[in-house]
Structure formats: C-alpha cells, structure tokens
Amino acid sequence: MVHVIGTKASVNGNTVENGKKLNGFNCWGMCVRRKNVGGWSSAFLLLANQGLATLTFFGVGVNLVLFLTRVLHQENAEAANNVSKWTGTVYLCSLIGAFLSDSYWGRYLTCAIFQVILIFAI
C-alpha cells in the first residue's frame, strides 16, 4: 500500500522520499536517513559524557566524606549516613528525570536540561 504526500511516500510502513528509504526520525520528528545521523561520532560523545559524569559523581562522593568529617567535624558514621542520603537523592532524581522524559519533555530535551543542571551544579 502506498500513500503519497508531496515528495514523500509511505510504502508498507517505511517512509520513502525521492526513491530513498528514510528509516529514522530526528529529535523534531522529521524523517531522516540513518546514514546521515548518529554513528560512532555520536556514540563517542555519549560515552565520554557518561564517563565524565560517572567520574564526577564518585569524585564528589569521596570529597563529600572528607568535607563532612574534616571541615564540618562530623563523626564518620554521621558523614557516611549523609553521603548515603545524598546518593539516594541522586538516584531518585534519575527516576524523576525518567518520568519527565516519558510524560512531558521527550528524551532529547530532558537530556539537554539535566546536562545544563549538571554543568552548573559542578
């Protein structure tokens, strides 16, 4: 079954433009060819971003223990408890981000907003 809209056509669920198969969508919902988007350059960017965010998370956790014990003069048990609360809050924020992404903003806007928050928080 073929549906034609301007220069675009849908053949059995695959979108075709000027005889070329379009099998993906960009962040604005436009059809794109897979070879023009993504790939290893995007994968390296995402891997580097995730690696740096993970390094930052664990670095802040270790430094937070030292800060709480040495500067604020908390006991080791109290400092460890506060770091556990901080870690739980960070993981809870991931669930809030997932809810906002699925319900309201979409994955690209959610990633961009939380990346800006991460940069300003560091």
- pTM score, whole prediction: 0.58
Helices 76-100, 107-121: crossing angle, 10 deg rounding: 150
pLDDT of residue 16: 56
Q: Identify the residue with better confidence: 122 or 110.
A: 110
Phi-psi region of 24 (alpha: psi -120 to 50; beta: other; left: phi over 0): beta
Q: Identify the residue with better confidence: 74 or 19.
A: 74
Q: Grade residue 67 by pLDDT with cuts at 50, 70 and 90.
A: very high
111 φ/ψ angles, rounded to the nearest 5 degrees:
-60, -40
33 has pLDDT over 80 = no
Distance CA 10, CA 98 (A): 32
